[in-house]
Structure 1
Amino acid sequence: MNQWKNLNELTSYQKLGQNGRVDLTCAMAGEEGTVRVKKYNAPMAAGMTYYYAAKQVDDAILKDLCALAEEAQLASKFEELYNGAVINTGEKRLVLHHLTRGQLGGAVNADGTDKRAFYTEQQRKIAAFAKKVHDGEIVNEKGEAFTTVVQIGIGGSDLGPRAMYLALENWAKKNGCFKMEAKFISNVDPDDAAGVLGTIDPSRTIFILVSKSGTTLETLTNESFVKEALKNAGLDASKHMIAVTSETSPLAGNSDYLAAFFMDDFIGGRFSSTSSVGGAVLSLAFGPEVFDRFLRGAAEEDKLAAGKDPMTNAAMLDALIGVYERNVLGYPATAVLPYSQALSRFPAHLQQMDMESNGKSVNRRGEAVDYPTGPIIFGEPGTNGQHSFYQLLHQGTDIIPLQFIGFNENQAGMDVTIQGSTSQQKLSANVAAQIMAFACGKQDENRNKHFAGNRPSSIIIGKQLTPEALGALLSHFENKVMFQGFLWNLNSFDQEGVQLGKILAKRVLAHETDGALNTFSELLGI
């Protein structure tokens, strides 16, 4: 029987704080650093590896982290989750995003339905629809093929699918899998929709409206914006729009849409990239075969995350080290730094996934916790970040742990040799140099040029960012966030923090305001 205890109630956590601190300036220097890199790593799916030699851990700390994982029952809590327990206590729901890509445990039934069968059926329907579009069986009013797909959604209906599309766009073009260009409308700011509409031919575009409830204000507003533009162009919107929604929403079975594909309440928006939310746009853009490869990478990584030994479970180990950094070492943030331009929006997706999941100050029972929980997440791709915020990372007053991602090969297969090295080699040289610069620093009598070092980082390294590798990366971070929520005794699967602003915004639009809210409304021209 799993017990849900606060982190500071665990004996192993109390012991963890008694360890000495690892000095990376010594540990990563010379031959000792080489030994650490060869020793401190864990396998991931799709041929990738998680390296944590430049983290402030040693054998003693790792042993205590393993004891913490056992006492916190991380593996059995994950097992409980994927076997269909009500893990989302705030909304009294199951948490089933893992089921969209594979069956880790036994059959899960909810609402009188085998949920794995439900998800795979939606994937089959999406694949069949995408094939008809690609083969010219579904065309516009003039009999012309559709060339563009535009997703209309916000939050998890935008950030994850957009990040995944951008991650595979160049790979698909190189490998002959690019079917349709995808664009995204998310912000209720009319400039967002207008900007996208100004770059496409609406007559040859399929629009995907993504709203689980069918009532999301921003999304329905943008839908109306798009429908008005289609009408003004003399087009029938119902011949250009599909919906991704729940079976009970007003969008389901509605003649305003070419087709509808379904999701349910058991998959949160920030975990929905492997559901119909990501499946429709990615299958149309790249073909359902590519989406299936993406799912297989995520499923392979999920199987590793189900392992009981943290030393061979990269997601669990990453989570444990992150909690050690947050709660014992006292670090306030984590930077995600992919040295891959294809992952340009991946940090933004992880920012929502992590901060919306674990940005909580009460435990699963609604009681206040008296320890730090989720860190601030931010990031940009290298090497741009080096010329932006790395100054603070190297010499600022706060130490911020870093999570690098790097690949041996680029996606496009194009490169140039300048001054004896290729662009890819220059990119990889930068990430290797940054890991060591952060860890070891540089002594200098000129304090302005002195680098204290002792700034921890990890890196995930793969051969190339393929659909399988992308799926494995997504799964790794989803499971890391889940395990950290278990450790902090949080409900990582609701998001009450986004609701208050929505309620007040509706009051503003209804002109039911007073005091400062009314004053700000007037200043903003409402």
Structure 2
Amino acid sequence: MEYRNLDLYPEFDTLKALPRVDLASVLTETRIKDYSIPLPEGFAFNYAASKVDEWILDSFQKLSDALGLVDRYANLLSGQIMNTGEGRMVLHHLARGNLGTGVVKNGVDLRNFYEEERLKAAAFAGKVHRGEILGSSGKPFQNVVQIGIGGSDLGPRAAYLALERWAKAEGRHRMKAYFISNVDPDDADNTLSALDLERSLFILVSKSGTTQETLANETLVKLRLEKAGLDPAHHMVAVTSTSSPLAQNPDYIARFYIDDYIGGRYSTSSAVGGVVLSLAFEPDAFSQFLEGAHSFDRAALERNVRKNASLLAALIGMYERNVLGYSSTAVLPYTEALSRFPAHLQ
């Protein structure tokens, strides 16, 4: 499928020529009610405060059709190469379910691969929760600590904080989760000092197995465990790729695998988020998390921009940046539980 700049499409010229919306004069109760799109799981996307009107929405539809945006999304779902810089597929959605034609690479059905890793993490979490896997001193684990950087930290941390209070209220909070990502050893020291190391399980997350910041924090953690008279090999698991140096390393209780087709900031649906969230809550809670995400993936196949919140939000963002000239976007959490969500997005 061909990719061309927006300014090569006459539909974009038409959009740019439309009159600007004076929001103060049009923001009425009727507009607030009408400019809303129902979403799965009881959510709604309200865009009444965006500077769009019916003419601009019509123009969005024509531009979307001309660009073939929903068709391109369907191609992504079926495994066509979307990361043109690295020549890779983009498959984070496949960790949540299959909406395309299926994706097979080198004889491996990648949907099955992601699902097998989810089930493996679920089985492991169940054994930890039942006390079948213990620390080196024979005590059950009560804390889980993720060691990672970038997407290996931001998404899982944001998801854990968003769901923590819900899990406690529902009686599904099983282990307290902590995160170590800062290369400043004082940050890791503050976290480790608050833990009962005998009852703490650590997850090392590095796709390549060579991420220097993550390995430096792993070394710090191992030294603290050894100083406490504990065997790190009985307190650590790894999330990595099958080709990394960590893949067959015996110094971990278990290893869970990811691949090159799920980017860091999109990896929470994979083992990067699945292991820590299954341990912190319950495996079924992580499954529900994936089901919810999958329902949003499905909703994004709608061709009508007035009914497709993901598509409309993207078009509004494009319009605000490329037509209205807005240079930045503010993401303002409405609850403390979402306090780490902006960091995940940026």
**TM-score of the pair, normalised by structure 2:** 0.99
Pick aligned residue for 2:133 from 123, 131, 138? 138
In the TM superposition, what is the alpha-carbon distance from 1:318 to its structure 2 partner?
0.4
Match of 2:176 among 173, 181, 192: 181
Q: Using the TM superposition, give the Cα deviation of residue 107 of structure 1 relative to its aligned residue in structure 2, in angstroms.
A: 1.2
When the two structures are aligned, how many residues end up with a matched partner? 346
Verify the 8 A CA contact 2:145 2:201 in the aligned structure 1: yes
- Alignment match, 2:277: 282
Q: Tell me, in whole angstroms, the C-alpha distance in 1 between the residues paired with 2:308 and 2:343.
A: 25
Deviation at 1:45, TM superposition (A): 1.4
Superposition pairs of residues 96-495 of structure 1, within 5 angstroms: 96-351=91-346
2:252 and 2:51 map into 1 onto residues whose CA distance is 54
CA distance in 1, matches of 2:135, 2:327: 52
Contact 1:50 1:314 in 2 (8 A): yes
Per-residue deviation, 1:141: 2.4
Equivalence for 2:59: 64
Stretch deviating more after TM superposition (140-149 or 97-106): 140-149
The reply on whether 1:19 has 2:14 as its aligned counterpart is no
Q: Which residue of 2 aligns with 1:395?
A: none
d(CA) in 2 for partners of 1:6 and 1:191?
47
Quote the residue 2:77 is aligned against. Answer: 82
- 1:219 maps to a residue whose letter is T
Identical columns (%)? 55
Note the alpha carbon deviations across 1:7-29, whole angstroms, 9 max, x for none.
1111111110111011111101x
1:111, CA displacement in angstroms?
2.8
Partners of 1:260 and 1:164 in 2: CA distance: 22
The answer to whether the Cα contact below 8 Å between 2:240 and 2:258 also exists between their aligned partners in 1 is yes
3-state SS of 2:253 partner = coil
Uncovered stretches (5+) of structure 1, i.e. residues with no partner: 352-526
1:86, CA displacement in angstroms?
Answer: 1.1
- The separation in 2 between residues aligned to 1:147 and 1:157, in whole angstroms, is 21
Code of the aligned partner of 2:76? L
| Equivalent residue, structure 2, for 1:7 | 6
Counterparts of 1:108 and 1:170 in 2: how far apart (Å)? 37
Report how far residue 3 of structure 1 moved.
Answer: 2.2
Deviation at 1:337, TM superposition (A): 1.1
Deviations 1:234-255 (A, max 9, x none): 1100000000000111111211
C-alpha distance in 2 between matches for 1:4 and 1:178: 46
Deviation at 1:142, TM superposition (A): 2.9
C-alpha separation between the residues in 2 aligned to 1:159 and 1:119?
A: 20
- Tell me how far 1:212 sits from its aligned partner: 0.3
Query: Structure 2 counterpart of 1:164, which letter?
Result: A
- Structure showing greater radius of gyration is 1
Question: Alpha-carbon deviation of 1:175?
Answer: 0.7
Work out the CA distance in 1 between the residues paired with 2:139 and 2:183. Answer: 30
Alpha-carbon displacement from aligned partner over 1:251-291 (angstroms, at most 9, x marks no partner): 11211000000000000000000000000000000010100
State the Cα deviation string for residues 205-242 of structure 1 (Å, max 9, x = none). 10000000000000000000101111111110000000
Structure 2 spans left out of the alignment, 5+ residues? none
Aligned mates of 1:308, 1:74 — CA distance in 2: 9
| Paired residues of 2:137 and 2:230 also in contact (CA < 8 A) | no
Cα offset for 1:90?
1.0
The CA RMSD measured in Å over matched residues stands at: 0.8
- Find the aligned partners of 2:180 and 2:226 in 1 and give their Cα distance: 18
Residue identity opposite 2:227 in structure 1: N
Q: Secondary structure at the match of 2:240?
A: strand
Counterpart-to-counterpart distance in 2, 1:111 and 1:207: 32
Aligned-residue offset at 1:34: 1.4
d(CA) in 1 for partners of 2:82, 2:37: 28
Give, in whole Å, the separation in 2 of the partners of 1:195 and 1:312.
Answer: 47
Amino acid paired to 2:150? G
Offset from partner CA, 1:475-524 (integer Å, 9 cap, x none):
xxxxxxxxxxxxxxxxxxxxxxxxxxxxxxxxxxxxxxxxxxxxxxxxxx
Q: 2:30 aligns with which of 20, 35, 50?
A: 35
User: Hey, what's the Cα distance between the residues in 1 that align with 2:215 and 2:173?
Assistant: 29
